[in-house]
Amino acid sequence: MHLPDSLRDSLKIPMGLLIKDSEVTKENILRIVPKGTFLITIGDATTEKMIKFGLDPVIADSRFYGKEKQARFANGTHKDGS
């Protein structure tokens, strides 16, 4: 899926809770983010960290550049959409 250039600038502004990197621990995320939250992650490191915490993003903007491993999301898709 490709994001149209006309939408890129508007999506640079956080639309929900933005958590500082220094506050990102599994315990804090589970405390701050209620169950059933529509979780969106931006970037490889953020997406990978949330998956390691057992939280599957509903939407993940992640290219996994330089990564040999595949990411599998809750709906069964891989990082390449298959």
Which pLDDT value is given to residue 58? 84
pTM of the model: 0.57
**CB neighbour burial string for 45-72, b if at least 16 within 10 angstroms, e if fewer:** ebbbbbbebebbbeebebebeeeeeebe
What residues of the chain score a pLDDT lower than 70? Answer: 1, 63-82
Domain definitions of the chain by residue range: 19-66
